[in-house]
C-alpha cells in the first residue's frame, strides 16, 4: 500500500511589503507499507527538482552491498521533503520570475531519518506560451563525500522542467 501526501501553502506578500512577492511552503510525505515482496521500482527515491534540489534526480536512497561488494541504491519506504521558496518578478510583462529556495528531505526504511539531505539555490520561472518552464541552479547541503566506498552522493547544480509545476 502506498500513500503520497502533498501540502502547499502560498502567501502573496504584496500587501505586506509593497511589491509582488510570493512565499511558498511545500511538503511531501510518502509511505509504503509492505506485506510481502516489493519491487525496487516501487520504493521511493529522492533528489532533483521534485524533492531535494542540489542532488541528481532519484539519487538519494538507502543502499545495500551484495556479496561481491557492489553497492546498489534500493529506495526507501518512507520519505519526507519540504521546501521554502520566495518568488519575485524579474520581467513582469514576460511573466518571468526569479525564485530563491531551500529544500530539506529525509528518506529511510525503518526510520524516516536514515538519510537526511538539503539543498539551496535560485532559479528562473517563466510562464511561457507553451507552459511553465523552470531553470533551477542549486547547491547541496550535508553531502556524503564518499567516506564509505560506493555511497557518495551524486550532486547536481542544474535542473530543468517544463510543464506542470512540482
The percent of residues above 90 in pLDDT, for the chain, comes to 71
Average pLDDT over residues 129-157: 86
Average pLDDT over residues 112-133: 94
pLDDT tens digits along 12-47? 999 999 989 999 999 999 999 988 888 888 999 999
**All three cell numbers of 63:** 543502499
pLDDT tens digits along 50-91? 899 999 999 999 988 889 888 888 999 999 999 999 999 999
**All three cell numbers of 92:** 513582469
HSE value, Cβ hemisphere, 13 Å, CA-based, for 124: 12
Q: What structural domains and CATH numbers belong to the chain?
A: 2-162 (2.40.160.50)
Using alpha carbons only, give the angle 133, 56, 124 rounded to the nearest 5 degrees: 25
Is residue 166's pLDDT more than 60? no
* Residues forming a β-bridge with 117: 105
Average pLDDT over residues 94-100: 96
Residue with grid cell 550535508, as numbered in its chain:
142
Residue 2 vs residues 42, 47, 78, 80, 149: alpha-carbon distances, Å: 9, 19, 10, 14, 32
Average pLDDT over residues 91-120: 94
Check the CA dihedral 147-153-154-155 and report its sign: negative
| The 131-141 sheet, strands edge to edge | 2-12, 22-32, 78-91, 96-108, 115-128, 131-141, 158-162
Amino acid at each position: 500500500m502506498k500513500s503520497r501526501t502533498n501540502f502547499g501553502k502560498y502567501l502573496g506578500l504584496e500587501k505586506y511589503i509593497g511589491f509582488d512577492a510570493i512565499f511558498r511552503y511545500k511538503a511531501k510525505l510518502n509511505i509504503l507499507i509492505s506485506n510481502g515482496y516489493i519491487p525496487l521500482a516501487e520504493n521511493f527515491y529522492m533528489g532533483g527538482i521534485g524533492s531535494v534540489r542540489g542532488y541528481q534526480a532519484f539519487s538519494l536512497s538507502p543502499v545495500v552491498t551484495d556479496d561481491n561488494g557492489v553497492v546498489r541504491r534500493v529506495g526507501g519506504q518512507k520519505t519526507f521533503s519540504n521546501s521554502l521558496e520566495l518568488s519575485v518578478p524579474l520581467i513582469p510583462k514576460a511573466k518571468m520570475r526569479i525564485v530563491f529556495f531551500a529544500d530539506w528531505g529525509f528518506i529511510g526504511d525503518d526510520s524516516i531519518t536514515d538519510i537526511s539531505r538539503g539543498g539551496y539555490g535560485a532559479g528562473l520561472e517563466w510562464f511561457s506560451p507553451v507552459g511553465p518552464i523552470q531553470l533551477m541552479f542549486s547547491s547541496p547541503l550535508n553531502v556524503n563525500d564518499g567516506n564509505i566506498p560506493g555511497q557518495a552522493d551524486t550532486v547536481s547544480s542544474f535542473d530543468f522542467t517544463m510543464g506542470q509545476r512540482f
